[in-house]
Amino acid sequence: MFFATPALDLQLFLLINQHWHSGLLDAIMPLFSSTAVLMAILAVAVVAAVLRGGKKQLILFLVLLAGMGVSDFTTKLAKDEIHRVRPLNAVAGTRYVENGEWRSRPGSFVRTKENGSSYPSAHSANTMALALLAMLLWPRLRAWPLLVPVLSGYSRVYLGKHFPTDVLAGWLWGVVVAGAVWLLWRELARRFPSLRPE
């Protein structure tokens, strides 16, 4: 599918990726975009919750992981249909990281691919689904989990992996997935009270 980039989308991408950068942001943005870092944090949280709350807390984390799994699978289906090319393969001057080093496409750069996997952003969808489900499953967290999709989404644009609309679409899809998984979980917990945490 041909995907034209709106002018405002491109302008915002250029600001974030090519103008609003610094040495500090160059160092930390790859961390906010790292799936390995996110999985490590989740693993620590699961172990801590199970040690403190037992099997029922583990069940809640399985609900959380199910939401992320549904989000990841469905966004990949969308990517395979839409084929939007990532900015680093489409926009001259794009700053990106390769093998741990920052690089920039030259001003004479022309698009190198016809198909890509930019839209929607799976990182954004997955982290939004995770954040909203965490807020619903553990209300004491309040709105703090929303920092994860915000920082992750911004980092994806900063790293030249996505246009802002890719991130926005991912966030919106994450909201839909989280809502659907939450409603399903509530129905299961109603039918099987033993699943509910104490």
pLDDT above 90: residue 166: yes
C-alpha 75/C-alpha 122 separation (Å) is: 6
The pLDDT value given to residue 42 = 79
User: Which pLDDT score is estimated for 50?
Assistant: 72
pLDDT score of 3: 63
Asked if residue 119 is part of any domain, the answer here is yes
**Which of the four pLDDT bands, split at 50, 70 and 90, describes residue 164?**
very high
In a domain, 4, yes or no: no
Has residue 1 been placed in a domain? no
Local structure of 124: helix, strand or coil: helix
Mean pLDDT score, 44-55? 77
85 falls within a domain = yes
Q: Could you say which DSSP state residue 145 is in?
A: G
**Residue 53 maps to which CATH number?**
1.20.144
pLDDT at 141: 87
Mean pLDDT calculated for residue range 32-54: 82
Tell whether 15 is covered by a domain.
yes
For the ranges 8-17, 42-51, 60-69, the lowest mean pLDDT is seen at 42-51
pLDDT in tens, 168-185: 999 999 999 999 999 999
Strand pairing partners for 98? Answer: 101
Please give the Cα distance from 96 to 106 (Å, whole number).
Answer: 12
Whether the pTM exceeds 0.95: the reply is: no
Q: Is residue 3 part of a domain?
A: no
Would you place residue 19 in the very low, low, confident or very high pLDDT band (cuts 50, 70, 90)?
very high
Quote the number of domains for the chain. 1
Taking residue 20's Cβ as centre, other Cβ atoms within 10 Å add up to 12
**pLDDT range class, residue 198, cuts 50, 70, 90:** low
User: Is residue 155 assigned to a domain?
Assistant: yes
Is residue 2 situated within a structural domain?
no
pLDDT tens-digit map of 78-128:
999 999 999 999 999 999 999 999 999 999 998 888 889 999 999 999 999
Question: How far apart are the C-alpha atoms of 163 and 167, rounded to whole Å?
Answer: 7
Question: Residue 77's domain spans which residues?
Answer: 10-195
Write down the mean pLDDT value for the chain. Answer: 92
